[in-house]
Amino acid sequence: MHIVLENLALEQLIVIYPGDKTYPLAENITVQPLPDAIHTPPTF
């Protein structure tokens, strides 16, 4: 995922998954449940 951030020149990456908790995976990478991603706009 760090390669994706670097190659696409992204400041932040959000990974959407079917769980129920939001948590940091690494610096600038956040894991977020699908329902939260639908109802909460991203914070950049």
DSSP character string of the chain: -HHHHHHTT-S-EEEEESSS--EEEETTEEEEEHHHHHHS----
> 7 lies in a domain?
yes
Total-model pTM: 0.74
Domain that holds residue 33: 2-39
> 44 lies in a domain?
no
User: What is the full per-residue pLDDT of the chain (44 aa) written as tens digits?
Assistant: 889 889 899 999 999 999 999 999 999 999 999 998 888 766 66
> 20 lies in a domain?
yes
C-alpha 31/C-alpha 14 separation (Å) is 6
Predicted local distance difference test score (pLDDT) of residue 16: 94
Predicted local distance difference test score (pLDDT) of residue 44: 61
* φ, ψ at 15 (rounded to 5°): -100, 125
Predicted local distance difference test score (pLDDT) of residue 42: 65
> 10 lies in a domain?
yes
Q: Where do we find the tokens 């129920």? A: 20
Predicted local distance difference test score (pLDDT) of residue 24: 96
The structural domain count of the chain equals 1
Query: What is the length of the chain?
Result: 44
